[in-house]
């Protein structure tokens, strides 16, 4: 039975390349946050560590987990499956640990709709501009032009989901963005005042989508 001492769930979503993995790592390093490790059928990137960044599994194993009802949420993203298993998340929350989810809007919707008895705070991260997003994707994805183009195309669709999140933040300077998220989480947990300007966000989304 969830209690006041339970951890909170923090979802970070964004169009690919906006920086949610970088921000999740920063938040987990500096705070009492555990990153929920997802399962995926995607192949590892050269710098990724199995069982730390993801549990890399094949389609058969992923389907077995679906059939066993082990996923809190799962979704198909860019031709691969990604999912969050329930047990490690609930165990951490019950121990008072805050859990960070680096998941897409489909997973965020599923977790929201589950209406679990744990506090949930959701963030959508935006890039400063499309040009900067392109640059970051190009650097990260080893100049693989096809992947970068695919993710830039997907950006136009993903960005539309910003409206369903509690907060939207712009990842311009990494330290600033980290502080903004950190302060908003603390304000939510301790009922503090929130430094948040929805009008600025609306204008920024307009710039990104025009
Ligand atoms: P996502 O998880 O949203 O797909 P990543 O965290 O992998 O994005 O970030 C994409 C790339 O951009 C990475 O190479 C990362 O190092 C870089 N990056 C992230 N945030 C910033 C920032 N504020 N300034 C400059 N580069 C950044
Ligand atoms: P990447 O392949 O770049 O690591 O992730 C691609 C997308 O899948 C990102 O938007 C990321 O947030 C999302 N993702 C990663 N893990 C999960 C998960 O467990 N569930 C869902 N729904 N999305 C995930």
C-alpha–C-alpha distance, residues 111 and 209, integer Å: 27
CB 81 within 8 A of CB 41: yes
Helices (H), 115-158: 130-140, 145-158
Q: How far is the CA of 23 from the centre of ligand 1 (A)?
A: 8
Tens of pLDDT along 56-83?
Answer: 999 999 999 999 999 999 999 988 999 9
Domain limits, the chain: 9-35+98-209
CB 71 within 8 A of CB 65: yes
Nearest alpha-carbon partner for 185 in 123, 94, 92, 128: 123
Q: How far is the CA of 4 from the centre of ligand 2 (A)?
A: 29
CB 161 within 8 A of CB 3: no
Cβ of residue 15 lying under 6 Å from some atom of ligand 1: no
C-alpha–C-alpha distance, residues 110 and 148, integer Å: 27
Q: Which fold has domain 9-35+98-209?
A: Rossmann fold (3.40.50)
Tens of pLDDT along 132-182?
Answer: 999 999 988 766 788 889 889 999 999 999 999 999 999 999 999 999 999
């Amino acid at each position: 039975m969830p209690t006041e001492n339970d951890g909170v769930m923090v979802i970070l979503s964004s169009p690919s390349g906006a920086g949610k993995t970088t921000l999740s790592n920063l938040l987990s390093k500096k705070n009492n946050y555990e990153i929920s490790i997802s399962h995926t059928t995607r192949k590892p990137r050269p710098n990724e560590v199995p069982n730390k960044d993801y549990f890399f599994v094949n389609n058969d194993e992923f389907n077995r987990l679906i059939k066993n009802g082990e996923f809190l949420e799962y979704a198909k993203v860019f031709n691969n499956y990604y999912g969050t298993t329930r047990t490690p998340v609930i165990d951490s929350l019950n121990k008072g640990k805050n859990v960070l989810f680096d998941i897409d809007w489909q997973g965020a919707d599923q977790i929201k709709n589950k209406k679990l008895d744990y506090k949930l705070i959701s963030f959508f991260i935006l890039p400063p501009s499309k040009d900067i997003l392109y640059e970051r994707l190009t650097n990260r994805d080893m100049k693989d032009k096809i992947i970068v183009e695919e993710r830039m195309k997907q950006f136009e669709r993903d960005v539309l989901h910003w409206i369903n999140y509690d907060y939207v933040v712009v990842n311009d300077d990494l330290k600033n963005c980290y502080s903004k998220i950190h302060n908003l989480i603390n304000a939510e947990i301790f009922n503090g005042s929130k430094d948040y300007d929805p009008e600025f966000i609306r204008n920024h989304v307009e710039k990104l989508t025009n």
